[in-house]
Amino acid sequence: MFKNFFPNQILLLKNKTINNLIFFLILIFIIGIIYSIFLSPPDYIQGDSVRIMYVHVPSSFIALICFGSIGVMSIINFIFKIKFLPLIAKSLAPAGFIFTLISIVTGSLWGKPTWGVWWVWDARLTSMFILLIFYLAYIFSWIFIKDFSKANKISSIIAIIGLFNLPIIKFSVNWWNTLHQPSSITLTSSPTIHYSMMIPLLLMFCAMTIYLLIIFLMKYKTEVMKIKINKKNNYK
């Protein structure tokens, strides 16, 4: 499966594959929205404002997964010098930035009716904002530094440093007193969320994951094509 991400393989990506992914995205998204708005119950404390969770939580998970992947690939690239890993990491960053922004905005929208304020500089919100800054720094390093090797080195350093922020985001609600509620879903224990809310949450997570895959594949193919075109122009 990993071989499918080799540059020569990604160039074989057909529009039919993207169209199929878009079809599944629309289908799952519509079902997820119907479940989230009409079929899932309101929270007994937060009421209907809890429905923001179905966008906020998946986008937060994906934002962390994307940056974690970028950071790990940056470490591997530093050690083994695998040439296509920077392209994969670079292609993940814009989508990761979008999901981080969605997480922050929806969190603010959810926080107003829940906490009474749009924003507060507590540990979870501040660390998510710092993640947004790391995404911007990573993306801008590729935009403004024209030399590929230098941009690769600097962006990798940014990503590796940014990895230290991820456990702070994850465990901030346990380490400090914050307004943000503890996680309802963890890998080490059973979820504390009812199945009537878990189903739309999983549906929206699947829809957003497919969206991430679509954006990533299109961006990655574009980056590979740029490299190929630049090589041909240099040979002339």
Please give the single-letter amino acid code of residue 141.
S
Name the pLDDT band for 96 (thresholds 50, 70, 90): very high
Distances (CA, A) of 77 to 18, 70, 137, 165: 28, 10, 19, 20
Does residue 226 lie within any of the structural domains?
A: yes
| Per-residue pLDDT tens digits for 34-51 | 999 999 998 877 888 889
Question: How much is the pLDDT for 137?
Answer: 98
What percent of the chain has a predicted confidence (pLDDT) above 70?
89
Smallest CA-to-CA distance from 98 within 69, 139, 126 is with: 139
Please give the single-letter amino acid code of residue 123.
A
Mean pLDDT lowest among 72-86, 131-145, 164-178, 193-207 = 164-178
Mean pLDDT lowest among 58-62, 77-81, 135-139 = 77-81
Smallest CA-to-CA distance from 8 within 225, 215, 229, 219 is with: 225
What domain range includes position 164?
16-39+46-235
Does residue 138 lie within any of the structural domains?
A: yes
Number of domains making up the chain: 1
* pTM of the entire predicted model: 0.91
Does residue 164 lie within any of the structural domains?
A: yes
Name the pLDDT band for 212 (thresholds 50, 70, 90): very high
* Tokens at 219, concatenated: 């961006």
From CA 100, how far away is CA 67, in angstroms rounded?
10
Kindly report the backbone phi and psi dihedral angles of residue 43, in degrees, each rounded to the nearest multiple of 5, phi listed first.
Answer: -75, 145
From CA 73, how far away is CA 82, in angstroms rounded?
9
> Measured at the alpha carbon of residue 20, what is the angle toward residues 200 and 226, in degrees to the nearest 5?
110
Please give the single-letter amino acid code of residue 236.
K
Does residue 123 lie within any of the structural domains?
A: yes
Give the DSSP letter of residue 188. Answer: S
Does residue 5 lie within any of the structural domains?
A: no
From CA 34, how far away is CA 39, in angstroms rounded?
7
DSSP-assigned beta bridge partners for residue 43: 47
To which H or E segment does residue 27 belong?
helix 15-34
Does residue 214 lie within any of the structural domains?
A: yes
Q: What is the mean pLDDT of the chain?
A: 89
pLDDT at 191 over 80: no
Does residue 6 lie within any of the structural domains?
A: no
